[in-house]
Structure 1
């Protein structure tokens, strides 16, 4: 079973949408996407955006994101990419450096949004 098949795209509870940890893996193959860190994070945020919009919300209604990095040196690049998705009013965000992530991905992001 592909890694991506183990997790649902989101859970909705009332007006809240919980988007589970998105990693830098291709959803179709489960393989780690090649490319620069920024490209991998951008792809993950595009998936978050698609899930949030499919749930009847938008990126400006994202309340909180948690980002896990395997290299804290990626923090400035992560900030830059996140700012491009949340240019005016960014959500609350926590960032943690971790030793490793499932599948060898360098970054994982999970978000909570609202629909009302």
Structure 2
């Protein structure tokens, strides 16, 4: 216990000696410079997020949810994938431009039925994909899909 207390007292001094806090008059670098607005692709969402934002050679699509009053994961998947397709079209792209998708599911046991519907959207050359089980999604959704597309 004594060693822990001693380390707690000495750590800030030791770390301070290792960190150069002088900026030499230079501004701090920007981690991710944003392109000028005229070069961005932006699909409006709501006051909390954009449905799609383009940067460089990629377009990042916000997650879209799929719900079903009857608990039908196929219906929910179709709803989410139609929303992905619609947001891509608003950004001037198609499903063929998708590079990577992530599917979030509240019931991973429904992976097979979800896959059946998902496959309908990619007759050839599907994007890379990850499927993840989650405990819950907003608004009681069964599925949420987020994607990255080529610009």
**What's the TM-score, normalizing by structure 1?**
0.82
Partner of 1:27: none
RMSD: 1.6
**Quick one: which of 99, 104, 113 aligns to 2:140?**
104
Partner of 1:22: 64
In the TM superposition, residue 83 of structure 1 has moved relative to its aligned partner by 0.5
In the TM superposition, residue 43 of structure 1 has moved relative to its aligned partner by 1.2
Cα deviation, 1:12-36, whole Å, max 9, x if unaligned, reads 1122111111112xxxxxxx55342
In the TM superposition, residue 96 of structure 1 has moved relative to its aligned partner by 0.6
Larger Rg: 2
CA distance in 2, matches of 1:53, 1:102: 24
Aligned pair count?
105
Structure 1: unaligned runs, 5 residues or longer? 25-31
CA distance in 2, matches of 1:76, 1:47: 21
Q: Kindly indicate whether structure 1 or structure 2 has the higher relative contact order, using CA contacts under 8 Å at least 6 residues apart.
A: 1
